[in-house]
Amino acid sequence: MKFDIKQDKDYKYIDEGHGETLLLLHGLFGALSNYQFILNDFKDKYRVVIPILPIYELGLLESTVGGLVKYVRRFVDHMQLNHMIIVGNSLGGHIAQLYCLDQPQKVKAMVLTGSSGLFERSFGGTFPKRGDYEYIKQRTEYTFYDPKTATKELVDEVFDIVNDKGKAIRVISTAKSAMRENLAERLYQVTCPVLLIWGKEDNITPSFVAEEFHKLIKNSELVWMEQCGHAPMMEKPEEFNRLMANFLNKICVSV
């Protein structure tokens, strides 16, 4: 699928639709394509904004979760976004929570799915071996309940990242910082409505992680998706979008 990617200063992003703002944040190995189904289904009623996070472009010292949160803060200010519903998968969920803790007045609600911030298995327990396509294919499939969701295009993208030394170093740096940035003692400060949509068979952030988020975030709702892994919005987009739409119906005036 081709996207209408806009560029303004150092920012590359999608900005489609009108209405209340949905800000979608992808994960460590993520891309715009992770959210194509949300974009297609919600742009008629909402303004859908998806920044390309500069995971592989930041300086080495900035290649941290904190560095990405600062980038998102600058992007939001540049775009003059307010009262956003932030949707975050994996590392994107971690960034969403840190942003919300820092700028609560800007966040109306959050939708978190397979989010890091409490516990995350790093790419199935080990970092992918460079040059070993079959191994990387298996590790990418590990992300999903149905391995067929890991298309050749997706595996190729991960393979290219892992085999680019500069990108790989930044991935490792960011992943390590995410493990250090545990939010357990801060989540009581999150007061906005939060929907947790979790794959019951998530191998990266297992079900106990979702239960812990639900316990620590007082205004949260937890919904399970059966036979689904770490990226429900990709693996079962119709069900994910229905759950998200139901949540938005409760908190938004645009539908």
Kindly state whether residue 37 falls inside one of the protein's structural domains.
yes
Kindly state whether residue 82 falls inside one of the protein's structural domains.
yes
Q: Is 125 left (phi over 0), alpha (psi -120 to 50) or beta?
A: left
Kindly state whether residue 123 falls inside one of the protein's structural domains.
yes
The number of CA neighbours under 13 Å toward the Cβ of 225 is 27
Helix or strand holding residue 23 (H, E): strand 21-25
Distance between CA atoms of 238 and 4, rounded to whole angstroms?
23
Kindly state whether residue 60 falls inside one of the protein's structural domains.
yes
For residue 118, give its domain range: 6-251
Distance between CA atoms of 236 and 114, rounded to whole angstroms?
13
Distance between CA atoms of 96 and 86, rounded to whole angstroms?
6
* CATH code: domain of residue 202: 3.40.50.1820
What is the SS3 string spanning 186-246? CHHHCCCCEEEEEECCCCCCCHHHHHHHHHHCCCEEEEEECCCCCCHHHHCHHHHHHHHHH
- Asked if residue 89 lies in contact with residue 30, where contact means CB atoms within 8 angstroms, the answer is yes
For the chain, 255 residues long, give each residue's pLDDT as a single digit of tens: 578 899 998 899 999 999 999 999 999 888 888 999 999 999 999 999 999 999 999 998 899 999 999 999 999 999 999 999 999 999 999 999 999 999 999 999 999 999 999 987 654 445 556 678 999 999 999 999 999 999 999 999 999 999 999 999 999 999 999 999 999 999 999 999 999 999 999 999 999 999 999 999 999 999 999 999 999 999 999 999 999 999 999 987 543
Kindly state whether residue 52 falls inside one of the protein's structural domains.
yes
Kindly state whether residue 1 falls inside one of the protein's structural domains.
no
Total number of domains in the chain: 1
Distance between CA atoms of 145 and 199, rounded to whole angstroms?
8
The whole model's pTM is what?
Answer: 0.94
